[in-house]
Every structure is written in structure tokens, then in C-alpha cells.
Structure 1
């Protein structure tokens, strides 16, 4: 990197991350146009959305490990070609089925891009302070991409057909393919190992049904099918871990978890995504069903904090250099807990401002904490396993988000059912706020008003309890980080004392 600018390289690495994160939210505006043109069934419409996240989560770990074997820059460029091709296929898809397939291929390609970029940052930025700033910028781009996606989508759809929201990916990836050989380091330290196909299949078989079961449980409740999927996922996950322990050259070095700071950091990352996406399910429903916003308006307001907290990650990097990563993690977790506290105490006021203050506080705290977590996890990993460790970090994010939606959504729904007045529980009104809205359409004006008022009150009660759960999870994790810091410091001092004794 002596003849290359590391910061120019970082700009190149952030380009694909902006596109990958935009693809999470870029369909918000496009769905009505896609539905009108391709006429997908209700199930197909759900899969157009969900297939991207499912496949991405299932392949992050495998693609990270693959990057260590074939080369981070090489896999990044292969992924860019695949992402461009899948974007063109999606843009011109003549049927809903082909669009679903294209979204799946987009996810496969996206899974190659995410761990490769983070691993390359690990190789490019050897100075701890510079690496912290680089990873903070990487995180800020991820957060900003989710917020920018609907805006870009809306602007494109004002002038072009729905396929344009996918074609925007192509020129960005083309630029990456041109500048990557010029700005990014060559793959000089590629690990010469065979790809462990069985481990790859096991991790895919573990994560896909687990994510599916958790998300479906949150949306539809318990069923034998979802329970079976969860059991299959957990069983295959157990087999995967057992296999990694036996292999001399595993996909994931489980020895990293012997470092208490590494283990707590991964867990804290899970909790961060638990909070971030768990909050989204509360606030989105609140905006739509309590404040009466349209689905699109609710979605846009719910992601507004992402744009406001893009500066949180860079500030966290500066703070971590001055006060240390654990202090920033603790401060971020407690800031997020304060945001949940605002939601828990003030949602009954029924104003947009309360939702925005709470959500912005949560997003600011979580982005700050997750930024320094990524810096530590990538920094402590051996250079030859940077890709696999990046994949592990991002997989923990996907799992944390799914669990957050499931747990906080389930708490909300449970309290709603308990709080809804029995004498007004006609039709589906007592099951959910959406059920109450559907039932109210078939009632007279007075009865409909009573049912909807009761439903909003029950929802606010449920949302408040769910928010208190969020407070508890974040505060307890902050205490865990405090414990980790103290015990690790004691262990470090004891190790230093022992080394001094041996030298004397």
C-alpha cells in the first residue's frame, strides 16, 4: 500500500457497501409498480422482499471463509460482477419468479462483498486508530445506505420504470471493477486450503431455517412447521460447531472465543442488532397504526434516524481512541437503553416527536457501539482469517436482528391480547392492531371508533412493555461489558506480573 492511498482504497470499499445496504430498502417505493407489472401472488410478493435477507444471512460465514482462501480482492471483484449481472436480470425480469431468483443471486453476490470489504480494511489499515476510523466510516455508509435507498428509489421512479432501482447498481459496480486493481492490495497472502463443502452446507442449513422460523414466528405465531424448522436449524448448528472443534483447519477458529473480550463483543453485536431491528418493529407499527400514517410514510419516518446518526460511527471511533472501546460500547448501550426508555414512557402521548427521539437515541447508541465492536473483532482476528471472522460478525448481526423482531414483537402482541377489553374483542380485534382495523371496517361508526381506540391503547401498552424489555437487555449487556473490562484488566495485570517474575 505504499504507493496507494489507504483512504482512497476505503472509498472504493465503501461503494459496494452503499449499494448492498441500499438494496435492503430500495423496494419500498417500487412494490406497487412491480405488483402492477408482474402481478405476483401474495406469497411471491413476500419472497421478493424476504429472499434477499434469508440468502444473505445464510452465506455470509461461508463467503467470508471463501475469501480467505481465494483472496479478498479477487472475491470482491467476482461478487461485483455477479451483483451487476443479477441487477440486470432483476431489472428486466418478465415474471415474479425470475425476479425472486434474481434477488437470490443478488444476495449471493452481496454475501461475497460484505466480508471481503471488511477483511480488506483489516489488511490495509494496520494502525489501530486509523483502522477504527475506517471501520467507523464503513458502518456509517451501511447506515446511510438503508436511509438513502427509498429516496433514490423514489427519484428514479419519478422518471423511469421500476427496473431502474436495480440498474443503479451496475455503474457503481463497474467503477469498483476499474479502481479495485489500482487501489486495493493484491491477494499476496491467500490461504492455500481446500473449501470445506460440508461445513458450508451445515452453516447454510443451520442459519436459513433458524432465521426463517424466528421471522415467521414473529409474524404469524407458533406452528409445527416453524418449530420443526427451528429444531432443524439448531441441530445443524450444533453439528457445525462440533465439526469445527474436530477439524485441524476449521472454517471458524473457535479458539477466538477463549478470549473473553472477543466472546462478549460478538454477543454485544447480537444485542445491538436485537435492539435496532426490535425497535423498528415497534416504531413502524406505531407510526402506521397509532398515528395513522400510510405504510410508505411510516417506513420513511422509521428509517429517518439512520440518516441522522451517520456521524455517530466516526465520533465513536475518535472516542474509542481517547477513552477505550469498552467505554464507548457501554455508553452506546446505555444511550440505546435511554431511547427505549423514552418509548416505554411516552408512546401514549401519540406524537411523532416521541417516536423520533426514542428511535434516534437507540440508533445513535447502537451504531456507536457496533462500530467499535467491529473494529475490535476484526483487529483481534488473525490476518489469514479476517474474511471468516468478518462473516461471523455479520452473521451475528443477522441473527440478532431476527431475534429482536421475534422477541419484542411477541412481547408486544402478548400484552396487546391481554390488555384488549374482552367486551370489545369481536372478530380479530383482540388479536392485533391490524386485526382490529380490519374488523372495524364491518362495524357501525360508534362501535368501530370504540374498537380502534381500545386497540390503540392496548398496542401502546404492549409497545411500552416491549420497550422496557429492550431497556433491560441493553442495560444488562452494558453490565456484562463492565464485568468483561474489569476481569480482563485483572487477567492482563496478572499475566504482566507473571512475565516480569519469569524475566527476573
Structure 2
């Protein structure tokens, strides 16, 4: 007798219990983007890392994750999203063990790359499994809104969790903590998830993912070298050429595929494009402010990792209610005030952060971080809905892939750009004191984030100038 496929979760309790497991996996993915922020000073001291190695330790994870996301979504369609989710969890757990006990900086970079592979394997499955689990549109939109808030919270509380672990354990504990969570998630997925439903006829194109990684790697190296006063012209040239060739090869490859990972005509919809800009931009501002502030609080203000983590958790305190309430009230207020207004709030919060730092007032800085979190959370609460809703039905899978890549691309860019600019402005500072040089650079990085927030507010205002609501975005790409 052949075993019948297990039915999809039908009762609310079953659906939301399985959603909790999916959210646990997503929480791990977003947590590992930021948990290193408080651990980085101690990690740098223990492994004696160079500034370049430190940036690659941070960037290897979002780089691999971002480069593979479009392809792993198609692979999930082919072999089944339940299997992809379980496989990603296992890769993530093994890579976490390797990272925790890495003997050198470059071993840690490689382990972080494999963490990105695990995250890229399971992340598209989280959204696909939500779509399979929730048939009701309102219930599904609520789940997607919570899904977005889980990602925000994971990124925002990462420094706090990292700081708490460093109070008792060594820097490797920020990776080792993943292992029991992975084990629990695997057990619960096997218990609660429906049967795996593969589609062997779905095509998975490895070359597209390779070309995307080449393009993003070249872009990352080019950003780092361009910001480096002691840049190597040959390396900068090679990086620019690699980014260009990778992008060209990726684009040409899509034109030859029957089922491409990405066709750029999907961006003809300004609502879709606005959603992508909003998703990437919100992560750029949120993670950029969080990363640089948690470093400054330790290196300049002499806060412990735990104290610095408590300070930046104000972002999560602002982001969570904004994420939940934004999605729930989209049908009333529309996209424009949540997205364009959210970026305006981000600009105000970053400017307030500069002011608080100049006053050396921690309460002002914490309030500013809460405002940035609140504003970015409002943007993220509806960015995914704009992206998924504005895409035609026959490209819903492509839209889901673009949606996930958008958030990770914003993280990748902000780590590369703000980290490189901080290092550059420290070197060119005329201050003879390290703390003075760091503060000089930190303030200028924040000014860059404020200017970008204003530009994002203007750009998204144009995209959503008609203030569409959730029911207005469904349209074919023309």
C-alpha cells in the first residue's frame, strides 16, 4: 500500500503551529545577519583580523545568500520546498558548528559563506510554504506581515543576543547557539509539515546562480576597493570587469531559458519597482545604522557588548509594532504614507542619532534608534505585499524570489558601503586620537544614511504617488 500524502494543515491551530516553525527558520536567517555586530570587536582581537578580513566575515553571509536566492527558489519548486527547508536547516547547523570553532579569520569567512548557502536554501521555502499553508488571502497577508516582522526582529535583536552570550561565553557562542535551534526546527518540521511535493519537470539552472554570484562578488570588491585610500588599481579594475561580465552573462542566460529566474520587464510596473526599492532601502538604512552604532557604542563609548546590544534593541521595539500594524491597516491608509513616510522618518531618526552622539546622550541615541526601527518597520510591513501583489500571477514565483533578494541585497550593500566608508574616513581623519577618528567617520556615515533615506522617500513617493491600497496593486506587467 502506498502512503498517501499528508494533507495540508487545515485547522487554524495546525496552520499557525507550522507557521511558527517556519518563522523559527527565518528568525535564524535574519539573526545571523546581525548577531556578529556586538561580537566583532572581540572576534577581531582574538583572531587578529585585518579590516579587510573583518568586512569579509560580515559580508560573506549576505553575499552568498543574495547571490543564490533566485536559483534556490526554482530548485525548491523542483525537489519540493519541505525538503529544501530541511536541507537548509542541516547545512546551517553544520556551518554554525564550523564557524563557532574556526581557528583563523579566513576559515570563518568560508564558514560564513556556507551559512549563507544554508540560509539561501531554506529562505525561499519559508515563503513558499506560507503560500501553500494559507489558502485564505486575508490570513495569508497577515502571515506574510508577521513573516516580515520576524525578519526585522531577528536583525534587530541580534546584537542583544550576541552581547548577552559574550557576557558569559567566547565569541564562537554566537554561532553555536544556532545548533539547538536547528535541531528543534528539524524535529518540528518532520512532525508538522505536509508531505514534500516536488515538481520534477521544473528546470533548475545552476549557471544563472553562478553568474549572479560573480556579479555580486565583483560589485562587493569594487565597493571596498573604491572606498580604500590605499586601493589597488588592478584589483579594482578586475572587480568592476567581473561585476559587469557577471551581470551581462546572467542577463543573456535569462533570455535563453524557457523558465527564467528573472526577466527585467517585470520592473515596468512602478508599484513592483517601488516595492523592491522599499525592501532594499529599508534594510540598507536599518542595518547600516545598527551595525555602525553598535560598534561605536563599544569602541568609543566603552559600553560592554551586552549594554550595546540593549541600546540597539530599541530598533526592534519600534519595528515590531510598526510591521504588524502597517500590514493590518494597509487597506485603510495605503502604501504612500507607510513607505515614503517611513523613509522620511528614517531620515529624521538618523539625524537625531548624529545629534545624540554629539551630545554624548545615550537616551537620545536610543530614542533615535527606536524612531529608525519604527520607520523602517512601517516600510517593511508592506514592501512584500507591493512586490507580490503587483506581479502577474504567472510570475508570482519570480516575484517571491525578487522580494527575498531585495532585502538581502540591501543588507549586502550597506555592510559593504558603510563599512568601507567608515574605514576610509577613519584613515583620512586629521584626528590623532582613535576615538576622535572613529566618531568623525561614524557621523559622516550617518549623514550618508540620512541623505539616502531622503532620496528613498522621494523615489518611493513617485512610485506610490497615487497611494494605492492592498486591493489596487494586482495588475499585469505591461
Whether TM exceeds 0.5 here: the answer is yes
Residues 1:201 and 1:234: Cα distance change in structure 2 (over 3 Å)? same
Residues 1:276 and 1:17: Cα distance change in structure 2 (over 3 Å)? same
TM-score, length-scaled by structure 2 = 0.81
Q: Which structure: larger Rg? A: 1
Q: What pairs up with 1:125-140 in 2 under 5 angstroms?
A: 125-140=134-149
Give the match for residue 461 of structure 2: 479
Q: Which string of whole-angstrom CA distances, capped at 9 and with x for unpartnered residues, describes residues 116-156 of structure 1?
A: 11222223223333223212222222222234334444444
Q: Does 1:3 align with 2:13?
A: no
Q: In structure 2, what is the Cα distance between the partners aligned to 1:43 and 1:461? A: 21
Q: In structure 1, what is the Cα distance between the partners aligned to 2:466 and 2:151? A: 28
Give the match for residue 322 of structure 2: 312
Q: Which of 432, 435, 447 pairs up with 1:436?
A: 432
CA contact (8 A) 2:70 2:405 kept: yes
Q: In structure 1, what is the Cα distance between the partners aligned to 2:387 and 2:473? A: 19
CA contact (8 A) 1:61 1:395 kept: yes
Give the match for residue 357 of structure 1: 367
Residues 1:18 and 1:218: Cα distance change in structure 2 (over 3 Å)? farther
Q: 1:180 Cα deviation (Å)?
A: 1.9
Q: Which of 46, 64, 84 pairs up with 1:75?
A: 84
Residues 1:250 and 1:300: Cα distance change in structure 2 (over 3 Å)? same
Q: What pairs up with 1:233-252 in 2 under 5 angstroms?
A: 233-252=243-262
Q: 1:365 Cα deviation (Å)?
A: 1.2
Between 1:180-189 and 1:350-359, the stretch displaced more is 180-189
Give the match for residue 105 of structure 1: 114
> When the two structures are aligned, how many residues end up with a matched partner?
465
Q: 1:372 Cα deviation (Å)?
A: 0.9
| Structure 2 residue matching 1:195: 3-state secondary structure | coil
Q: Does 1:331 align with 2:341?
A: yes
Between 1:102-111 and 1:140-149, the stretch displaced more is 140-149
Q: Which string of whole-angstrom CA distances, capped at 9 and with x for unpartnered residues, describes residues 259-281 of structure 1?
A: 33112211222222232234346
Q: In structure 2, what is the Cα distance between the partners aligned to 1:163 and 1:461? A: 30
Give the match for residue 390 of structure 1: 400
Q: In structure 1, what is the Cα distance between the partners aligned to 2:452 and 2:193? A: 40
Q: 1:465 Cα deviation (Å)?
A: 4.4
Q: Which string of whole-angstrom CA distances, capped at 9 and with x for unpartnered residues, describes residues 44-97 of structure 1?
A: 555444322332222222222222222211111111111122223333445555
Residues 1:16 and 1:465: Cα distance change in structure 2 (over 3 Å)? closer
CA contact (8 A) 1:88 1:167 kept: yes
Q: Mind listing any 5+ residue stretches in structure 2 that lack a counterpart?
A: 1-7
CA contact (8 A) 2:85 2:122 kept: yes
Q: Which string of whole-angstrom CA distances, capped at 9 and with x for unpartnered residues, describes residues 11-38 of structure 1?
A: 0101112222222333456557766776
Give the match for residue 424 of structure 1: none
Q: 1:404 Cα deviation (Å)?
A: 4.3
Residues 1:484 and 1:279: Cα distance change in structure 2 (over 3 Å)? farther
Q: What pairs up with 1:446-465 in 2 under 5 angstroms?
A: 452=436, 462=444, 465=447
Q: What pairs up with 1:369-448 in 2 under 5 angstroms?
A: 369-380=379-390, 388-404=398-414, 431-432=428-429, 436-438=432-434
Q: 1:181 Cα deviation (Å)?
A: 3.8
Between 1:405-414 and 1:269-278, the stretch displaced more is 405-414
Q: Which of 256, 261, 285 pairs up with 2:266?
A: 256
Q: CA RMSD in A?
A: 3.9
Q: Does 1:206 align with 2:215?
A: yes
Q: Does 1:466 align with 2:460?
A: no
Give the match for residue 289 of structure 2: 279
Between 1:145-154 and 1:455-464, the stretch displaced more is 455-464
| Structure 1 residue matching 2:433: 3-state secondary structure | helix
| Structure 2 residue matching 1:483: 3-state secondary structure | coil
Between 1:397-406 and 1:475-484, the stretch displaced more is 397-406
CA contact (8 A) 1:332 1:366 kept: yes
Give the match for residue 5 of structure 2: none
